[in-house]
Amino acid sequence: MENLLPQLALAPAEGRDPKDYFGRAMSDVWLEVGFGGGEHLVWQAEAHPDIGMIGAEPYVSGMAKLLSHIAEKDSANIRLYMEDATDIIDSLPPSSLGRVFILFPDPWPKTRHHKRRFIQTAMLDALARALKPGGELRFATDDAGYLVWALERLMAHRAFVWLAQCPGDWRVRPTDWPQTRYEAKALHGVPIFLRFQRVP
């Protein structure tokens, strides 16, 4: 961590184009909030070398695992932030992200803790501002209570439209959505995969 993290760490700057955080030209920038062990982030970065991947993860163990994954790889299209992802989202200019991933976030199951869940109406407002029209928000959970919570807020938000056409669209993980270690454990139940598009 001492050597690699300083090379990949970014400091959010108000209104800065996120493409500027990378050492070479990027066609788009995607953000993963709470990347856990980093398996998904690294897969996306390798599959899309022309897209800048920003990963936000406040936990040292998750950051260490990700850095071990990329220690011997070309990390030119990965940048990391070890604080609250809200800092990045709030600093971005409008319509600057092509995709946002929120995969298996902490469900905060106790009612008194629901205010800590990442999916809140105010956060969806912020993501709607940061996402490009046509951009995609991907959300996954294996917690039934959080699934209902997220769907209620996403379906009620005018800036997002659910891309599902049939049950398989949320029951089956898309081919360009690699499995994470957390998903493999399925601690709370059956994993569900949601794709929402930012409407104009």
Tokens matching residue 36: 């856990």
If you average pLDDT over every residue of the chain, what do you get?
92
Q: Are 30 and 98 in contact (CB under 8 A)?
A: yes
Provide the pLDDT confidence category of residue 29 given band limits of 50, 70 and 90. very high
> Residue 181's domain spans which residues?
4-198
Of the residues 50, 84, 87, 106, which is catalytic? 106
96 or 4: whose pLDDT is higher? Answer: 96
Q: Mean per-residue pLDDT for 152-161?
A: 97
188 or 92: whose pLDDT is higher? Answer: 92
Q: What are phi and psi of 102, to 5 degrees?
A: -130, 90
Q: How far apart are CA 29 and CA 53, in angstroms?
A: 6
Q: How many domains does the chain have?
A: 1
180 pLDDT above the threshold of 90: no
Count of alpha carbons within 13 angstroms of residue 23, beta-carbon side: 9
124 pLDDT above the threshold of 90: yes
Question: DSSP character for 170?
Answer: H
Q: Are 143 and 109 in contact (CB under 8 A)?
A: yes
Q: Mean per-residue pLDDT for 13-18?
A: 95
70 or 16: whose pLDDT is higher? Answer: 16
What's the pLDDT at 108? Answer: 84
Tokens matching residue 15: 């209104």
Dihedral (Cα; 119, 157, 199, 28), 10-degree rounding: -20
Q: At what angle do helices 60-70 and 39-47 cross, to 10 degrees?
A: 40
What does the pLDDT look like over 135-152, one tens digit per residue? 999 999 999 999 999 999
Domain containing 58 — which CATH number? 3.40.50.150
189 pLDDT above the threshold of 90: no
Q: What are phi and psi of 162, to 5 degrees?
A: -75, 130
106 catalytic, yes or no?
yes
